[in-house]
Amino acid sequence: MPWRPAVISLIAVAIAIAVLWQVGVPLLMPQPQASVEPPAIYPQSTAEPITPIPQALPLDQRKVALGSRLFHDRRFSRDNSMACAGCHELSKGGGDALSHPVGIGGQRGDVNAPTVFNSGFNFRQFWNGRAASLEDQIDGPVHHPKELGSNWPEIIAKLKQDPEYAAEFSALYRDGIQSGNIKDAIATFERSLITPNSRFDKHLRGDRDALTQDEIKGYELFKSYGCIACHQGVNVGGNLYERLGVMRDYFKERGNIAPPDLGRFAITGKPEDRHVFKVPSLRNVAVTGPYFHDGSVTALEQVVTIMGEYQLGISIPRAEVALIVQFLHTLTGEYNGKPL
């Protein structure tokens, strides 16, 4: 059939990219330096393009505890009605299960809220990659009028009225309650939100009974179709940028193009960055819908079908879509020893 050579070429290119990634060749952009260096978090590489999440990270548990309290504190919003956890509920896969988050005063956010789980593994933060680190990311929702709608002087004044906070910050930071220290504590807590021990990770570590034959077939299809070119590494994504609509114009066909659909273009102003986004992690993807930056898709089967059509230019047979989805379900991990 006339489309077969093109498909074969695409698959070959995708496999080549995956191989280059494994040996350390950058794909689209080098990883920028974060404002605060995170701990060494990546496990030793394996023969597979996906690596297991480590069982634990070397984090200061006092900062983790303080950051957790801050993350759940509603005083971060202008009207004391919302916390960071309002859009990133740990009981909802680290997101909010909505197409668009709801901020102060019931205002709807501009893009889908990504999961906070494993966010410390992402090379940039936000869909358009505008924050270089978790610390930098915190400024966004704090100041956004549709999210928390506040500012650091107001937040600091509130927190200083709390004797427990005053004591905890004094014990950990020489200058006490300051915006940089608040962000450091919250980011440390967020880095602790890892989800190891997925069945797929157990498979990678040598557990031959961790996956079914159909799930293994799904993973092989995931690799052979080229999905692995963008979704690999410890976070099965989150480490490069890609255009949404490589083979077909996703936005023209969807219609109603809005500013958030511009992706990286809104940051760089470069035409080649139009509709380019940070590739999302597929960790826990079965429990983190709705999907895409616009929150437009709720079923994983539809996600796989759309990715095949718009990113690879192929129509993946329904039976193979089902197998790939079975594999994706094996990426659901544990938090604090309990399955998500």
Active-site residue set: 147
Q: List the structure tokens of 65.
A: 């505890």
192-201 per-residue burial string, b: 16 or more CB within 10 A, e: under 16: bbbbbbbbbb
Secondary structure of residue 134 in the 3-state scheme: helix
Give the count of beta carbons closer than 10 Å to the beta carbon of residue 328: 25
| Alpha-carbon gap, residue 229 to 325, rounded angstroms | 17
| Alpha-carbon gap, residue 228 to 175, rounded angstroms | 46
| Alpha-carbon gap, residue 331 to 317, rounded angstroms | 22
| Alpha-carbon gap, residue 266 to 259, rounded angstroms | 8
| Dihedrals phi, psi of 335, to nearest 5 degrees | -125, 125
Strands 241-243 and 338-339: unpaired
